[in-house]
């Protein structure tokens, strides 16, 4: 039987509902979607979709580190955008974080995101 471990770090925002930051199994870690919340305040950061994308990816990095993984181990991302017109701007920052052999990805426009965020990203990663 596989193990299932809840992952939590104070270096990423606290969940805004009844869910875990991530769940680690024997070989994979599944991260909940992150929006651009400041881990220190729990508030959405000021800024455009690029600033928000950067904060989201920093939050994801923190959860991955706590789980024993890293961005280089991500195999799949799902990007949710409040406005698909922000795709190119989000993609510019995303590409700074995934420079070599980027993961598989899906991207969607959604009707709304928590706390009025412009972008949310969830990931699945291999463990080290």
Residue 86 has a pLDDT of: 98
Which two three-digit tokens encode residue 121?
């990203």
Write out pLDDT tens, residues 3-46.
Answer: 999 999 999 999 989 999 999 999 999 999 999 999 999 999 99
Cβ contacts of 24 within 8 Å, gap of 6 or more: 3, 4, 5, 6, 7, 67, 68, 127
Distance CA 70, CA 68 (A): 7
**Domain covering 5-126, topology:** 60s Ribosomal Protein L30; Chain: A; (3.30.1330)
Distance CA 67, CA 19 (A): 16
Q: Tell me the chain's radius of gyration from C-alpha atoms.
A: 14
Which two three-digit tokens encode residue 17?
């509902």
What pTM did the predictor assign? 0.96
DSSP state of 17: S
């Amino acid at each position: 039987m596989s193990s299932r471990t809840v992952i939590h770090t104070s270096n990423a925002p606290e969940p805004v509902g009844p869910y875990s930051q991530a769940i680690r199994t024997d070989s994979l870690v599944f991260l909940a979607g992150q929006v651009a919340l400041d881990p220190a305040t729990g508030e959405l950061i000021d800024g455009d979709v690029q600033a928000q994308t950067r904060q989201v990816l920093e939050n994801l990095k923190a959860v991955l580190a706590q789980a024993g993984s890293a961005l280089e181990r991500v195999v799949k991302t799902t990007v949710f955008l409040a406005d698909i017109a922000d795709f190119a701007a989000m993609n510019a920052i995303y590409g700074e974080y995934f420079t070599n052999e980027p993961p598989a990805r899906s991207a969607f426009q959604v009707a709304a995101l928590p706390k009025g965020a412009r972008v949310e990203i969830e990931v699945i990663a291999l463990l080290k």
